[in-house]
Chain A
Amino acid sequence: MSSVPPFTAPERQRYRRHLQLAEIGEAGQLRLRQARVLVVGAGGLGCPILQYLAAAGVGTLGLADADKVELTNLPRQILYGPADVGQPKVEAAARALRHLNDLNTYALHPVRVSPANVRALVAAYDVVVDGSDNFPTRYLLNDACVSLGRPLVSGAIYKFEGQVSVFNYQDGPTYRCLFPEPPSAAEAPDCNTTGVLNVLPGLIGTVQATEALKVVLGLGDVLSGRLWVLDTLTFQSRTLRFKRDAVQSAINLDTANPADYFDVSCAPTAAASLTAEELRQQLASAAPPLLLDVRGPLEFQRRHLPGALLLPLPELAARAAEVPRTRPVVVYCQSGVRSAQAVEQLRTIGYDNVLTLRGGLEEYSG
């Protein structure tokens, strides 16, 4: 590309150790400058990823995170200091990154990645690096990268363990080839409630940064079709090989089950729920709860529990006053996703008498 301006003398000096590598050299360093990399999550993983990619001279770095810096973040989210507490993470991170390398462009996206914005977000970048902290975002990013043909450098942590893989790279396998079923709420003990060794995201994030650089530079063997798992306690690491699955790798934004993108795991409703068996007992008791069906009118018409009140989830915010506060209420839907959201909504406006039916009608009838 003849239009690319050459490096200035200070840039040459700054990037000398890269320029000295035959595998990178001037052509590679220019590729880094022209690269557009989106980092989702500016938390434990995002901080080291952003730090190294910025220092490496990745020309356009996107930062996507809706959170503000909290005091509990500081031990592992090393771009932030006490003065940043309460500030939006993307702003605090960009300040630190500009200080580190002001030659790059930093694009700030202070939003939670959602089905509504993911397409536009991912389309503007060449490579996506996942440092998010929940399964719905991980499945959403995977499906968006499949839809838009982008490689996804994925990393995730749990207590003392971490995992890294590059998905959807040159027709390689995707996240769904490895983990086809999104975990249920019960098996996702995350959401900032689980402890984590502070250095762990540093280890995992720098491996993600390494793979992101390799993808941009076309360097070496990218960690595609392989999952690297590190357990810091036993210092065991293994690399699990896995293959592309024709069905799973085809799932994209248009064909996925939208429920995969709903975050029920983080709802404060894990305890505010009951099982189908518990509901049967309560309905047979002297003081049965009021049943609230939050599905759509057509679903309600086809089948509902006797005596249930219909209040579709989209109307709940406007019609919340119809829900009694003095009598126990059990909210249900088809599989338990919408009802968990409804209970979360009601609890945030002060209802402490509402429970969600785990597994929904599917469990109740089964």
Chain B
Amino acid sequence: MNLTVALFGIAREIVGQSSLTLTAPAGQSAAGLLAELRTRYPALAGLRSLAVAVNNEYAAADVPLHERDEIALIPPVSGG
């Protein structure tokens, strides 16, 4: 299945674009997606807190993903 992931904050800087599309095995979990992205973009592995949003809901690690899900990676930002 194809997944589209919207990127925010420093995750966008690391990947170099505001969203990306990738092919993932059916039933891929949120944690599995994150692991795949960290392999592709090793700098993402340096982010300790990185919220994964699925259909605007904070996703636990084992949440299964579906092709039309709206997925976003949201790291905390600290500027004031």
Contact = CB atoms under 8 A, between A and B. Distances in A.
Interface of A: 41, 43-46, 130-135, 138, 155-158, 161-163, 178-184, 186-190, 194, 196, 201, 227, 229, 231, 233-234, 236, 238-243
Interface of B: 6, 8-10, 18, 46-49, 51, 53, 56-58, 72, 74-80
B56 A241 contact: yes
Contacts of B48: 181-184, 187
A240 B56 contact: yes
A39 to B, nearest CB: 11
Contacts, number: 101
A181 B51 CA distance: 11
Nearest to B70: A238
B47 A240 contact: no
A219 B75 CA distance: 29
B18 A157 contact: no
A132 B77 CA distance: 11
A313 B53 CA distance: 41
B51 A187 contact: no
Given A156-B80, A183-B75, A161 B49 contact: no
B76 A238 contact: no
A241 B57 contact: yes
A161 B57 contact: no
B78 A135 contact: yes
Given A181-B48, A183-B75, 16 more contacts: A44-B80, A130-B80, A163-B76, A178-B58, A178-B76, A181-B49, A184-B48, A190-B77, A190-B78, A229-B8, A229-B72, A231-B8, A231-B18, A234-B18, A238-B53, A239-B56
A241 B58 contact: yes
Given A240-B51, A242-B58, A138 B78 contact: yes
A188 B78 contact: yes
Contact of B79 (A44, A186, A234): A44
A181 B18 CA distance: 24
A189 B75 CA distance: 12
11 contacts: A156-B80, A157-B80, A158-B79, A161-B8, A163-B76, A182-B48, A182-B49, A183-B47, A238-B53, A240-B58, A241-B58
A189 B58 CA distance: 24
A201 B77 CA distance: 13
Contacts of B18: 231, 233-234
B12 to A, nearest CB: 8
B18 to A, nearest CB: 6
Contact of B74 (A132, A196, A240): A240
B58 A238 contact: no
Contacts of B6: 236
Nearest to A134: B78
Contacts of B76: 135, 138, 156, 163, 178-179, 183
Contacts of A161: 8-9, 77
A283 to B, nearest CB: 25
Contacts of A157: 77, 79-80
A187 B10 contact: yes
B80 A201 contact: yes
A183 B49 contact: yes
A241 B54 CA distance: 10
A46 to B, nearest CB: 7
Contact of B78 (A156, A178, A242): A156
Contacts of B53: 238, 240
Contact of A178 (B9, B46, B51, B80): B51
Contacts of B56: 238-241
Nearest to B79: A157
Contacts of A133: 78-80
B80 A131 contact: yes
